[in-house]
Amino acid sequence: MSVLESRHGGARLAALTLVAAGVLAGSPSSAAAQEETERETAELIGQVVSASTGLPLEGARVILLGSGYGAITDAEGNFRVPRTWAGRDSVEVRYIGYEAGYTIIELEPDQTTRVTLTLSSTVIRIADLTVEVRQTRRARHVEGFLERMEKGFGTFFTPRDIINRNPRLPSDLLRGLPNVAVGRIEYGRAEVFLGEGARLGCPPALYLDGMYQAGMQFDDLEKEVLGAVEVYRRDVETPMEFMRTGSTCGAIVVWTPDGAGFLDWAGELPPFE
């Protein structure tokens, strides 16, 4: 028999209400975490192309305005947002020399949604035309990663390091590092805190292919997207491009692999046949 069906249900219901109120008041973060965990998620992949030429656009920024998650397109114009909230969202696409594009999409729970996004170019009058040879996105990532590693700030995981450690979850990659706190695994993920953030319970900023992922935790990523990882445990060692205004909780920077060839970018592994 339920509380409402009991003859003395009023008193029992009042007591239960008071207890429930006390529990909720004492642990707002637990309730918020449970609500976030219960939200249905989805994956978004796609390609950004020029409306006039049909050619892919490398380096375009794709942002889901509802969740704040996003990605940057590769040399083939492809992008991937491995985890975002299911339901309706608005996609913003920006690329230098093109008008910003906006598209409403429906993301099915536990499904991968594939889209093709087109951008229209903006006419700009220029006096001289300069032809510039651009590096591929992969080459830029490798160059920047190696330059920062040579400076000696932060902790770096190369493709070989990640393969050797073979983490079950991304957070397993960081277990045992000094000044890093990795919590218990709950609901398939563990919280990670770095440096002073480990003491203050302050989560680090997460970057995926150079783009800040608002509200995303390290374990929200799948381990398959870990091509190389940079970890900055203090704001004083964090490069300017990975610093958030007012944030002192460090940063985790993840570079995704561009195919199997990414594994030999530092000469650490032989190329695949």
Residues 112 and 150 in one domain: no
pLDDT band at 181 (very low <50, low <70, confident <90, very high): confident
Average confidence (pLDDT) over 65-69:
88
Q: Which of 6-10, 59-63, 209-213 has the highest mean pLDDT?
A: 59-63
Q: Is 198's pLDDT higher than 50?
A: yes
Residues 203 and 244 in one domain: yes
CATH number at residue 186: 2.170.130.10
Tokens of 151: 């400076």
Q: Is 246's pLDDT higher than 70?
A: no
pLDDT score of 267 = 59
Please tell me the total count of domains within the chain: 2
CATH number at residue 48: 2.60.40.1120
pLDDT in tens, 158-180: 888 898 888 999 999 998 888 88
Higher pLDDT pick, 11 / 230: 230
Q: Which domain holds residue 106?
A: 41-119
The verdict on residue 211 lying in a domain is: yes
pLDDT band at 42 (very low <50, low <70, confident <90, very high): very high
Residues 156 and 109 in one domain: no
The verdict on residue 83 lying in a domain is: yes
Q: Mean pLDDT over all residues of the chain?
A: 76
pLDDT band at 19 (very low <50, low <70, confident <90, very high): very low
Average confidence (pLDDT) over 125-131:
49
pTM for the complete prediction? 0.57
Judged by average pLDDT, the poorest of 52-56, 186-190, 245-249 is 245-249
Which of 90, 119, 148 corresponds to the end of one domain? 119
Residues 110 and 184 in one domain: no
Q: Please, what's the largest Cα pairwise distance for the chain? A: 88
